């Protein structure tokens, strides 16, 4: 119930391509779904987040798509750049629920 | 921009020694957390803290771990008798309301020899 599944484990994309990372959850009490970006040796930093009252949220090149009925959400990075190379974690939380992180996706964007 | 600060950035200790990791959460935040990340692996929840007491802890947070807010600004994680498998990056995080964005510190790398 508390687990958040994430795939793929690693992803290699050419510069300018689209990076897509998927997550799924079970706990219907979750109502906040952030994506965190982590560079080596640094703490995770919030990239973008969504609540289940919308199906999509876009901020620049980053888009979250949310499917409430399927209990799935995904991160799309358009026009991927080498500077986007990092580990991405999806997460979920809700009222009375601590943040639960997915296992992470290591993204490499080739120049 | 306010940030969560952690010290030390890296600590090397001998197995069996006690370690204290320190955190200064963002000043108006009320909920505090410790997470652990073993190299290259997922971010694992250890403990959450609100209103001067533990609100939730994971199965990782056994009797060798303790947390304290000794004053109005610091939030500490103590590991009483370190084991080799405690080697990891420890992240402190805080949030104003217990919901919404979780703000992480830069982490403290613990190496147990």
Residue B54 contacts A, CB cutoff 8 Å: no
Cis bond before residue A8 (omega within 30° of 0): yes
Q: Residue B1 pLDDT more than 90? A: no
Q: Which residues of B touch A42 (CB under 8 A)?
A: 106-107
- Give per-residue burial for A76-95: e unless 16+ CB within 10 Å, then b: bbeebeeebbbbbbbbbbbe
With CB atoms and an 8 Å threshold, state whether A98 touches B45. yes
Tally C-beta pairs within 8 A across A and B. Answer: 51
Residue B107 contacts A, CB cutoff 8 Å: yes
Name the DSSP letter for residue A32.
B
CATH number, domain at A77?
A: 2.60.40.10
Residue B18 contacts A, CB cutoff 8 Å: no
Residue A111 is assigned to a structural domain of this protein: no
Mutate to test the interface with A, among B96, B98, B102 (most CBs of A within 10 A): B102
Whether the Cβ atoms of residue A102 and residue A6 lie closer than 8 Å to each other: yes
Q: How far is A95 from A100, CA to CA, in rounded Å?
A: 13
Mark residue A56 as left, alpha or beta (left: phi above 0; alpha: psi -120 to 50; beta: remaining). Answer: beta
Cis bond before residue B8 (omega within 30° of 0): yes
Q: Identify the band that residue B18 occupies on the pLDDT scale cut at 50, 70 and 90.
A: very high
Q: Which residues of B touch A43 (CB under 8 A)?
A: 4, 91, 93, 104-107
Q: Which residues of A touch B106 (CB under 8 A)?
A: 42-43
Provide the CATH number for the domain formed by B5-10+17-96 in this structure: 2.60.40.10
Summarised one tens digit per residue, pLDDT across range B22-74 is 999 998 899 999 999 998 788 999 999 998 899 999 999 999 999 999 887 89
Place of tokens 């982590």: A38
Q: Residue A1 pLDDT more than 70? A: no
Domain ranges of chain B: 5-10+17-96
Q: Identify the band that residue B96 occupies on the pLDDT scale cut at 50, 70 and 90.
A: confident
Q: Which residues of B touch A94 (CB under 8 A)?
A: 99
Averaged pLDDT score across all residues of chain A: 93
Closest to B17 measured CA to CA, from B69, B68, B64, B58: B64
Whether the Cβ atoms of residue B30 and residue B7 lie closer than 8 Å to each other: no
Domain containing A62 equals 4-105
A residues 16-55 lying closer than 8 A (beta carbon) to B: 32, 34, 36, 41-46, 49
- How many domains are contained in chain A? 1
More confident position, B101 or B104:
B104
Summarised one tens digit per residue, pLDDT across range A39-77 is 988 899 999 999 989 999 999 999 999 999 999 999 999
Residue of A43, A93, A104 lying closest to B106 (CB–CB): A43
């Amino acid at each position: 119930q508390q687990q958040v599944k994430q795939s793929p484990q690693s992803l290699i994309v050419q510069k300018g391509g689209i990076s897509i990372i998927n997550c799924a959850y079970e706990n219907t009490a979750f109502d906040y779904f952030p994506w965190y970006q982590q560079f080596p040796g640094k703490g995770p930093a919030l990239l973008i987040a969504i609540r289940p009252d919308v199906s999509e949220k876009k901020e620049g090149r980053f888009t979250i798509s949310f499917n409430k009925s399927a209990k799935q959400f995904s991160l799309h990075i358009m026009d991927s750049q080498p500077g986007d190379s990092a580990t991405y974690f999806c997460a979920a939380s809700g009222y009375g629920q601590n943040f639960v992180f997915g296992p992470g996706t290591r993204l490499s964007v080739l120049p | 921009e306010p940030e969560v600060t952690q010290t030390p950035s890296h600590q090397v200790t001998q197995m069996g020694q006690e370690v204290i990791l320190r955190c200064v959460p963002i000043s108006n935040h009320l909920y505090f957390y410790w997470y652990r990340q073993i190299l290259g692996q997922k971010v694992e929840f250890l403990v959450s803290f609100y209103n001067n007491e533990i609100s939730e802890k994971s199965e990782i947070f056994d009797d060798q771990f303790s947390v304290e807010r000794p004053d109005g600004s610091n939030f500490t994680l103590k590991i009483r008798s370190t084991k080799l498998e405690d080697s990891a990056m420890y992240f402190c995080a805080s949030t104003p309301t217990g919901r919404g964005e979780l703000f992480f510190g830069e982490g403290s790398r613990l190496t147990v020899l």
